[in-house]
Chain A
């Protein structure tokens, strides 16, 4: 279930990357070939980038691909290492919750601001922050639970 959610985040992210490629390709085509630059392409590409980076970053918590320095864990006994990992997962969950709470506040505060050339609320650029923060917290808490139960494989229990 969680793995499925994580896979879908990556698929959405990949779609975002492909669409962004098309948008910038169209920007070059419009300016150089059609002699008419699209005015929306820059903002649209930036918006897409925030979305897919944060979605994939949430999946990264599930898949455990975020860069970290595991020196302490490597030097510790297996039991100690497990405790360290639990603390780390809980901290990641805490930061995820902060992203969720303050990301939601951010979306709300700028709801009246407009993204130029797209005409959308600025909140759209920030929506992935709370969504991603929420998912990060969930993924990290389940990892912490798995460590608690002694299941370090990351599989659903």
Chain B
């Protein structure tokens, strides 16, 4: 494996600035790493497609740098989840139903990165339409965990985390609706941030659960995330749920001073439900926080027990509506045997996988007349309560701490036949999406089987900077995790 691929995004930035390396050399190294791995016995399968034009774009950026007309991210390579649109590139969301669909426009986040000279390496694998926690529900086969290929990388942004973990990209964009960036980051031993709702424009991110979806970032280093966030965050006239907030002074990132930091430890997410190795890792992390002068207290948030239930009403409800447009009329797969109704049925039966179908059924059920009040309306009511509770918690605490996942990574196929167990995988992460606050997963330890374990910090809306600076302090700490 080439040494070049070991650099973090910010290290690459420095090397490019010093002209010690060219972007083309770097992108070539990643391409070689990807190609070699693809020929291995058990390929990672993190990319659905490595862009053939990545190297040419990199050399174009090298020329801009020579001419001093380059942007802040000139030549920096980034991998992109297969549900974020780049004009002219395919975007399938890991689904057969979007087979052959080429994006006719570019997502706002991509446009902002592109403007500053970022080079996109390829499209990363994902659970179909971001529905899944293991990256096994993809039309393109499962992605494997770079730490141990018998294990899943977590989902749904499993491809994004895996390519970063396997040094096939220094950083990647994912999307997080219930934990889909943080869980893979945790399983692959990386930093993964889900910004607060509205921090990153959703324009051009293919919708799953519109009120929960956020683009997130996976990297080796909190500073890498801060760099990308500083370029692409902020209000977008094309997304009326985006927030007016300036993140431009976020980079360079300074490590946080944890003295007096008030940390809440909800008992609902830090108890018996977590595996031994996770609890051990959590205890170690809490010790470190205390050593840094943080003030850690246990609290109880009873409504946290309902988050999975609420999520599996709201997200499928929104998904059932968002995915109804895949009907074979305008784009994507079309199976037009018979009349219009046959075409709908044939196209959708053939195009969607079983997990997506399950959630469409659930969503249509909870929205249907006679059931709406009992499910959707009630779920939204609990969501409002939860949001209110977190508003109160954040008047007393700066950070809410829990593991990212109750368990270390599991093996491929282990939970495929048991959707409910798979759903419970997101028990620690979902609340941040329901409430709309930023949360980060930090690589905090290893299990007995040598698999990564992550800790999750959640903060107030707008406090991405605090989360990243604490993460940076952790990264800079002496000794190994």
Q: Are both chains from one complex? A: no
Residues of A within 8 A of B (CB): none
Residues of B within 8 A of A (CB): none
